[in-house]
Amino acid sequence: MEAERRDAESLAIPLLLEEDEKKPQKLVEKDTDVEAQPIGHYSAAAGTTSFFKTCFNGLNALSGIGILSTPHALSSGGWLSLIVLFLIAAATFYTGMLIKRCMDADPNVKTYPDIGQLAFGKKGRLVVSVFMNLELYLVATGFLILEGDNLYNLFPIDGVEIAGFRIEGKQVFVIAVALIILPTVMLNDMSMVSYISATGVLASIIILGSILMAGTYDGIGFHEKGRLLDWNGIPTAVSLYAFCYCAHPVFPTLYTSMKDKSKFSKVLLLCFIFCTIIYASMAVSGYLMFGSNANSQITLNLPLNRISSKVAIYTTLINPIAKYALMVTPIVNAIEDRLADSIRKSAGPVIRTSLVISTMIVALAIPFFGSLMSLVGAFLSLTAAVILPCLCYLKVSGTYRIFRLKLVVIAGILLVGILVAIIGTYTSLAEIIGHL
């Protein structure tokens, strides 16, 4: 209990002091401004997750449902867009390291919003919090849309009518999956979540293997030649590739939960290498199989009368269930940390249940998986994974004051990220509006 008290007191120290306040720190009373309060200190205080369990959590966060959309991304941009995939992987790995360095700069920094406050004060915390939580929220929503699409593809039903309200087939499945996912969200121990994450990582490998089996032995083949480059489809391809690497808001949670934080760089490197191989393999295989006809989810292209197809689709259904809890944990912590200690524990289940219900409602209202993920990738993933880490690191480290190679690299990544985010966001919004 004494250790917990010291942790709580240390988190009450302001993360960013004004110039005239840079004196020996002293404890202050809890700030009533919710945006100034530290977020997610429960996961940070644990520090009990092993190297391998953190690897599973990291792989599960990175090897997400984006694996299903990489063939569609490649079909949109053409073969040369694979170069973009590798560039995004390299850039986002580098920005992941920048997040780690920002956290190392101040022991009081525990979460992504803390980094924003360390760099730019309360406004920085607010901006980072908004982008981080909105991205994670929409990714969780995408999980439910994906589940509904694939279950309806397997078991097409007419829907039901309850109390005068008509619920269509896909909507029935979205609601059912939300109820199944709900118990996993009640877990708040990253070490326990790692066991669920292990199933998610295994599911990604099985999905890739099933797709390869479908192309090799089930009569589909790899006969499509595809296009070398399609400039019109590049914005969509870039947005979907960026969505594949949208786990940066989770990195601080993983970092602070580690027992040996010095090994976090190795965790990141292993996760990025493994996931990039998986993404590239899926993109190439799916494009060779279906060419320009590749759907937003590769599983929707598969013939349902093949065993390999059924394995791929059924395994796809496991992924969102395994990943949902990991994605929404930072959001849950952010909400719980704003509550008084006396009600936090009792309010936790209500908050988690409300979060699942709200994502379910959004999934029912906007059932466009490809367009939604493209929007998340362009506007939110690029902002949270590229733009914000660069800006925060430049400010925290003071690198922007001295012209050197590191400044050139970070500035280049930042400028390209901003440009791509603008173009991709416009394209994705146009697609969503076109569907409505």
Q: Total structural domains in the chain?
A: 1
Query: β-strand 165-167 against 160-162: which pairing, if any?
Result: antiparallel
Residues with Cβ within 8 Å of 373's Cβ and at least 6 positions away in sequence, in order, are: 65, 66, 69, 142, 239, 240, 243, 296
Distance CA 338, CA 344 (A): 9
Distance CA 171, CA 80 (A): 37
Is 382's pLDDT higher than 60?
yes
In a domain, 374, yes or no: yes
Better-scored residue on pLDDT, 52 or 341: 52
Q: What percent of the chain has pLDDT over 90?
A: 24
Domain that holds residue 217: 42-435
pLDDT at 278: 93
In a domain, 225, yes or no: yes
Tokens of 397: 């480290």
* CA-angle at 12, arms to 189 and 112, nearest 5°: 55
In terms of residues, how long is the chain? Answer: 436
Q: Do residues 283 and 291 touch, judged by C-beta distance below 8 A?
A: no
pLDDT tens digits for 12-39? Answer: 333 333 333 333 333 233 333 333 333 3
pLDDT tens digits for 155-191? Answer: 888 777 776 677 777 888 889 889 988 887 876 665 5
In a domain, 323, yes or no: yes
pLDDT tens digits for 216-267? Answer: 887 788 888 889 999 988 988 998 898 888 888 889 888 988 888 888 999 9
pLDDT at 5: 46
Better-scored residue on pLDDT, 78 or 37: 78
Tokens of 380: 């939110």
In a domain, 12, yes or no: no
In a domain, 296, yes or no: yes
Is 334's pLDDT higher than 90?
no
Is 304's pLDDT higher than 60?
yes
Tokens of 60: 């599960």
Q: What CATH number should be reported for the domain holding residue 252?
A: 1.20.1740.10
In a domain, 350, yes or no: yes
Residues with Cβ within 8 Å of 3's Cβ and at least 6 positions away in sequence, in order, are: none
In a domain, 428, yes or no: yes
What is the reported pTM? 0.75
Tokens of 89: 């992987």
Distance CA 352, CA 144 (A): 16
Among 30-34, 58-62, 211-215, 337-341, name the one with the lowest average pLDDT. Answer: 30-34
In a domain, 31, yes or no: no
